[in-house]
Structure 1
Amino acid sequence: MSISETAPVSSGALWTGRVLSGVIILFMIFDGAIKLPPLDIVTQAMVPLGWSADPNVARMLGVIGLVSTALYALPRTSLLGAILLTAYMGGAIATNARIGNPLFSHTLFGVYLGIILWGGLYLRDPRVRALIPFSR
């Protein structure tokens, strides 16, 4: 099925996709921005997760998150951004699972974000709907 053959999405679904994507974009901008200075609370919160309190590590994670988010926000590169953000969240899931954080509140938080991320992209991008066709 080509992109031109995908069923058109309703205006409501399109706007729902934009809102879901917007929530992810805003969250990730916040997440990345607090890692850039980096705030002391950020570096200290990394220690129990097994990361060093090194400000450069926090900055690196912030830059990776922000670049991936920018790619997700731009329609032309949104698919690449979604893949990179999924990998970023996978690292967060692995980190939380490794130290035994609570499953539903901490470990699966990246899964929840991933569902919102891909759901938003699915609703707003016909390329993704062509790639993952759900039949009725």
Structure 2
Amino acid sequence: MSISEAAPASKGALWTGRVLSAVVVLFMIFDGVIKLPPLDVVTRAMTDLGWPADANVARLIGAIGLISTALYALPRASVLGAILLTGYMGGAISTHVRIGNPFFSHTLFGVYLGVILWGGLYLRDQRVRALIPFSR
């Protein structure tokens, strides 16, 4: 099945995809924005995760997250944004594994977000449905 042959999403699936994607975008905007100013709570959380207590490191991570999120939110660049955010989530997962955080609540949070991210994109983007066809 080519991209042009992928079935268009129903209105319900399209809106579900938009809502799932909006949840990811809103979470990532919050996550990125709180890393930009030198907030003490962010610095403490970063050191608890084994990152340096450096506001510039937090800003860089926040900027990467925000840029990736902006790309995900733009329909023409959403697949690239999803790929970049998947890498971002991988970094978060590896950080939690490295320091031994709880598995289901902390470590797998990036997996949960990634599933929501790709699920939302799958439901709202015909190109992704054509690339990953699920049999009926």
**Does TM-score exceed 0.5, indicating one fold?**
yes
Deviation at 1:53, TM superposition (A): 0.8
User: Does residue 11 of structure 1 match 2:11?
Assistant: yes
Alignment of structure 1 residues 1-136 onto 2, 5 Å:
1-136=1-136
The structure 1 segments of at least 4 consecutive aligned residues displaced by more than 3 Å after TM superposition are none
Q: Deviations over 1:89-117 (max 9, x none)?
A: 00000000011000000000000000000
What secondary structure does 1:69 align onto?
helix
Q: Which amino acid aligns with 1:89?
A: M
What secondary structure does 1:92 align onto?
helix
State the alpha-carbon separation in 2 of the partners of residues 6 and 45 from structure 1. 44
Deviation at 1:129, TM superposition (A): 0.3
Q: Deviations over 1:66-93 (max 9, x none)?
A: 0000000000000000000000000000
State the alpha-carbon separation in 1 of the partners of residues 135 and 3 from structure 2. 15
State the alpha-carbon separation in 1 of the partners of residues 109 and 69 from structure 2. 17
TM-score by length of 2: 0.99
Q: Which amino acid aligns with 2:92?
A: A
Deviation at 1:40, TM superposition (A): 1.0
- The gaps in structure 1 that reach 5 residues or longer are none
What secondary structure does 1:106 align onto?
helix
How many residues get paired? 136
State the alpha-carbon separation in 1 of the partners of residues 13 and 94 from structure 2. 32
Deviation at 1:38, TM superposition (A): 2.7
- The gaps in structure 2 that reach 5 residues or longer are none
State the alpha-carbon separation in 1 of the partners of residues 107 and 64 from structure 2. 20
State the alpha-carbon separation in 1 of the partners of residues 38 and 6 from structure 2. 44
